[in-house]
Amino acid sequence: MSPASSPLIYEQWSATCDTLHAHTQVLGKLAVALAPPAPQLQHAALTLTARGWETAPLPAPDGSGALLVALDLHSHEAIVEHSDGRSGRVALAPDRPVGVVTRELLEKIAGLGGAVTIDPTPQEVSWTVALDEDEEHRTYDPALVATYFAAATQAALALAAFRAPFRGRSTPVNAWWGSFDLAVNLFSGEPADPPADDFIMRNAMDAQEVAVGWWPGDGRYGRAAFYAYTHPAPDGFAAARLSPDAARWDDTLGEYILDWEDVRTAPDPRALAVEFARSAFAHACAVCDWDPLLAASVEGHPPPVV
C-alpha cells in the first residue's frame, strides 16, 4: 500500500506525530525570533513544500544574508541553508530526542549565520518540557511520516485550489506549528474583536475571516480531517447542512468537519475536499453578510485572467 492510499489514524501514529509536531515547533520558534512581524502572525507561519515543512527565508542573526530552515521528510533531516550556498544537516531518526535535534540545529544555525535565541516553551500542546530539553519525544517512524506527508500534500493542494480564485485578501496555505495543521484564511476586509485576550488571539483573530484547514488528528479528535469555521460566528452558524453529505458540525471542536477517510476513499479526493471548502465558505458568507461579489469569486466569478 502506498503512503498516499494509507489511512491516517492518530492513535496508530501518535508517538511519531507528537515528535514531528515538536520538531515543527522549533522551526516556528525560529520564524518568530527572526522574521519581521506581520498581521495575523503570518511571519510565524511555515510552509509545506515538496520536501516537508519549511520556514520562509529568515534574516541571518549576524546580518550575513538569509537562512532557510526545513524538515526534509524524504531524507529525514532538519536542514539549515544559507543564501551563500552553505548548509548544515541534523538527522531525524528513531530514538533521537527532540532536545538533541533542537540543540544540534541551533548549533548549525550559529555556525552558518550567527547565534539565535528562541523561546523553547512548546505551544498549544499537552506537554510543557522545553524543546531543547525534551528527551520524551523520540519516536520517529519514517514509514508513518511518509503516510502523513502524502496525506498532508494532497490536503495542501486541495486548500490551494479552493483559495486560488478568491479576489479578496487571503493567506497562502500555511503550516501552523502550534496546532500542527494546514489552513487558508479568507478575509472580508472588516475588523473583528478577538475571541480572547491572549497574545495569539489578539494578533491572529482581529479580522473577519473564514478559515478552512486540515489536520492529522490529535488527542481531542483522533482522525485526520478537513475543518472550517468563521470568525466571528453568528447565532445559527452551526445549523447548516454542508456539501458533501459526510460533512457535519462538531460541537466539541466548534467547527464543521469532513473526515480525511471520506476524502481519501472518494473517486476524486481533491474535488470532494474543494466541494466541502466552497460549501462552508458560501454558508459563512451568507450568514455573516459578506459582499456577494467577494463571496462569488471563490466559485470563479469573475474567472481569473488568462
Q: Is the pLDDT of residue 197 over 80?
A: no
- Report pLDDT for 1: 42
CA distances from 137 to 23, 34, 149, 157 (A): 10, 26, 19, 29
pLDDT confidence band for 200 (50 / 70 / 90): confident
Q: What is the pLDDT of residues 221-277, one digit of tens each?
A: 999 999 999 999 999 899 999 999 999 999 999 999 999 999 999 999 999 999 999
163: nearest Cα among 210, 233, 208: 210
Instruction: Identify the pLDDT of residue 203.
Output: 77
Flag whether pLDDT at 198 surpasses 80. no
CA neighbor of 189 nearest in space, from 110, 109, 297, 111: 297
Query: Residue 224, SS3?
Result: coil
Q: Is the pLDDT of residue 24 over 80?
A: yes
- Of residues 239 and 196, more confidently modeled: 239
Alpha carbon distances (Å) from 180 to 22, 34, 146, 260, 305: 9, 20, 16, 15, 34
Q: What is the CA 28 to chain-centroid distance, rounded?
A: 11
The tens digit of pLDDT for each residue in 45-74 reads: 999 999 999 999 999 999 999 999 999 999
Q: Poorest-confidence range of 199-203, 242-246, 258-262, 293-297? A: 199-203
What CA–CA distance (Å, rounded) separates 18 from 116?
A: 24
Q: What's the average model confidence in pLDDT over 107-129?
A: 97
- For residue 2, the model assigns a pLDDT of 55
Residue 3 has pLDDT above 70, yes or no: no
